[in-house]
Amino acid sequence: MKIVKALFCAAMLCVAAAASAKTEDIKIDGSVGKLSAVIQVPDNLAEGQKCPVAILMHGFMGNKNGMLEKMTADKLEKLGVASVRFDFNGHGESDGEFKGMTVPNEIEDAKCVYEYVASLPFAGDIAYTGHSQGGVVAAMTSGDLGADKVKCVVLLAPAAVLRDDAIRGSTMGARYNPLDPPEEIPLFGGLKLGGEYIRTAFSLPIYETAKKYTGPACIIHGTGDQVVPYTYGERFHENWPGSELHILPAADHMFSKEMQHVVDLTVDFLMKNL
């Protein structure tokens, strides 16, 4: 009986080792110190073999362990695609303070992660996916890097409304003078938005920069989104001729009742284009 138990424990340790070999916590140099990230690699990848890699980006006040990001990473792994999901500066376990975060320095984070991924010996084609503000970052970074580097991009409820919010002087329910924003703007949950976020968002060339991207793109948005109206997603589609557009009836900003469907749409598009 002791021998059987010992063999069982050894088998479980082997399983655990195999599982941990597929998923690894890593640190990547970002715009503000280190970015906390998780890399998932298919366990059947042969030595010297390359595979596509998707960079998954969360939204404003989110983190790399959001359900959308985790579910997408897990499904991609099963289909032979690696992924890297990370916390932007000032979010989750990454360095920096939330009040120091801006869209431009998140774009720098996204470029840093791209360079890290491109340096991996097994990395083939690279894609971006981004939810909410992460969608704006994905769109603008893809425009900056171009289709030669970014094979395809998926935007989930892309929050281009953030520029209009800054111009109106209202972000996530907090009001301020947009022409002279304070250095700190209190938000819910004890977080404080920095004045530099507003100053940079006020004139952020979101669609102008994104339009430079000419590769395959997919936009997914819900008509029930009360944070970012779905018309912002439609405008990305108009900016990118030939892009896919999925407007989901009544779906909210987090796709809370449509999450599996959104993950399936995302992964199906990536598998077609990577």
- Does residue 180 sit in helix, strand or coil? coil
**Top-tier CATH class for 24-273:** alpha beta
**Extents of the domains making up the chain:** 24-273
Dihedral class, residue 200 (left if φ above 0, else alpha if ψ from -120 to 50, else beta): alpha
Angle between the 67-78 and 259-273 helix axes, to the nearest 10 degrees?
A: 40
The pLDDT assigned to 13 comes to 36
Q: pLDDT above 90 covers what percent of the chain?
A: 88
Burial of residue 264 (number of CB atoms within 10 Å: 0-12, 13-18, 19+): middle
* Residue 249 pLDDT > 90: yes
* Residue 8 pLDDT > 50: no
Predicted TM-score of the model (pTM): 0.91
* Residue 209 pLDDT > 90: yes
The pLDDT assigned to 198 comes to 97
